[in-house]
Amino acid sequence: MSIGPAWYLGLAAALFALGALGVMVRRNVLVMFMCIELMLNAANLTFVTFSRVLGDIGGESLVFFVLVVAAAEVVVGLGVVVAIFRRRASTTADDLHGMKG
């Protein structure tokens, strides 16, 4: 008995919902970044599932582009968090309004 694609899509939907809930509820910027990464990995799981079902390599190659975007998001996001943390002792999302010009 093998696991069907519906289980993978259900898992991806649950991971995406958990990440979206974490972004909406949590105020800590680092936790928000981890939730965004969780949502991107849920999208990757969906791409790989559809790629496997359809027998096309397009979804698997799209995963590499999503991983590059995720890596760039981490680099830029952590740079902003470090800049905020140097000015203040906390890294909540409410502190981001102080970064306006």
CA distance 65 to 29: 24
Report which DSSP code applies to 89. Answer: S
| pTM score of the predicted model | 0.82
What amino acid is encoded at 32 in this protein?
M
What amino acid is encoded at 9 in this protein?
L
pLDDT by residue (tens digit) across 4-47?
999 999 999 999 999 999 999 988 888 888 999 999 999 999 99
Confidence of residue 97 (pLDDT cuts 50, 70, 90): low
Q: Which two tokens stand for residue 53?
A: 């079902």
Interior/surface letters 56-80, b for 16+ CB within 10 angstroms, e for the rest: eeebeebbeeeeeebeeeeeebeee
Nearest to residue 32, comparing CAs of 88, 100, 91, 99? Answer: 91
Q: Which two tokens stand for residue 22?
A: 């974490």
Does the CA dihedral 73-75-78-83 come out positive or negative? negative
pLDDT by residue (tens digit) across 40-86?
999 999 999 999 999 999 999 999 999 999 999 889 988 888 887 78
- In order of their start, the domains of the chain are 5-99 (1.10.287.3510)
